[in-house]
Amino acid sequence: MSFIFPNMSKTKADVRRHVLEKSRSPKEKEKTTTTTQTFLSKHLKKIYPLGLQRSNSSTSLSSASSSLSSQNSLDSSHTGTTTQKDQKSTLPLPSPTRNMPLPLEKKEILPVPNTVPQPSMDSFHKSLKRCCWITKNSDKVYVQFHDEQWGVPVYDDNILFELLAMSGMLMDYNWTEILKKKEALREAFAGFDPNSVAKMGEEEISEIGSNKTLMLAESRVRCVVENAKCILKIVGEYSSFSDYLWEYMNYKPIINIYRHPRKVPIRTPKAETISRDLVRRGFRLAGPVIVHSFMQAAGMTNDHLVDCFRFRECVSLAERPWRHV
């Protein structure tokens, strides 16, 4: 006879469950517990979404903080440790047209033309400040004379003779008219060589006087020939016409400081002194006004106005060491 206890089947089931749980490994137990917790947290989030609600209770923030920490622990236990690479993948990708540097446009580099426009010499010369008697209507030959010769010290006998002869022609013409004839004058007077001019006879003087290009009266031509003879006498005494003239200047040009053209004299005491001696020696057309014009052209005196660009240049030439030959 066997006794059947009403709770025998239940006891056997409990014993079997206990044996099975005991035989399980710790890892299986942990996995089961984690799965259960994850399932519960997943469904609880659907029913009770976590968020900070306005509350008058002072413990609302702390409770919310504890809830968030518990949620993070549950999520991390379910998904495992999240790597940095996984976190970056969850961020929204930037739009390809936002915060991206635009590609630089390739500009076509054109070759530089060989013919680069250069400022003309006329425009260059017009931009310079000159003595006020050089105006926009002044002839180019006169402007060139002012820019290149007037006020430059001269030590060559032939050039000094040429300038003295042309200064004497100011009795009949102005500088522009004389300068336009300069090449013809040089040809007629043998390059203003005193030795050649001094040998000219009446026939040659008459021929030059009848030259329609020069338009010089025979009396003016004769004055040039007589002056050449006087220069030869001075050369015999002073070895050169240049030595004779520059001795009056103490071998240094006179540098004047004139700001206005009305201050520039037409004759000076120095010009008067030289003129008297020239006339005494037999020179013609050698008055003090003509001699002063000659001194200006030969650079024996610097009468450029101080605001003229040539003033400083001629001063520099005047301050050079003496190179008279």
> Could you say which residues of the chain have pLDDT below 50?
1-10, 39-40, 42-91, 96-98, 112, 116, 119, 121, 124, 325
CA distances from 178 to 71, 262, 312 (A): 112, 24, 27
Q: Is 308 annotated as a binding residue?
A: yes
Give residues with Cβ within 8 angstroms of 286, minimum separation 6. 164, 168, 227, 275, 278, 279
Residue 211's pLDDT is what?
95
Residue 11's pLDDT is what?
53
Instruction: Tell me the two tokens of residue 172.
Output: 């009949």
**SS3 assignment for 135-203:** CCCCCHHHHHHHHHCCCCCCCCHHHHHHHHHHHHHHHCCCHHHHHHCHHHHHHHCHHHCHHHHHCCCHH
**Residue 324 near residue 245, CB atoms below 8 Å:** no
Residue 318's pLDDT is what?
84
The tens digit of pLDDT for each residue in 45-91 reads: 444 443 444 444 444 444 444 444 444 444 444 444 444 444 444 44
Residue 16's pLDDT is what?
60
What's at 112, amino acid-wise?
V
Q: Is 260 annotated as a binding residue?
A: no
The tens digit of pLDDT for each residue in 194-214 reads: 999 999 999 999 999 999 999
Give residues with Cβ within 8 angstroms of 288, minimum separation 6. 267, 268, 271, 272, 275
Q: What is the model's pTM?
A: 0.62
Residue 319's pLDDT is what?
80
Residue 28's pLDDT is what?
55
Instruction: Tell me the two tokens of residue 13.
Output: 């089931």
Q: Is 146 annotated as a binding residue?
A: yes
Q: Is 304 annotated as a binding residue?
A: yes
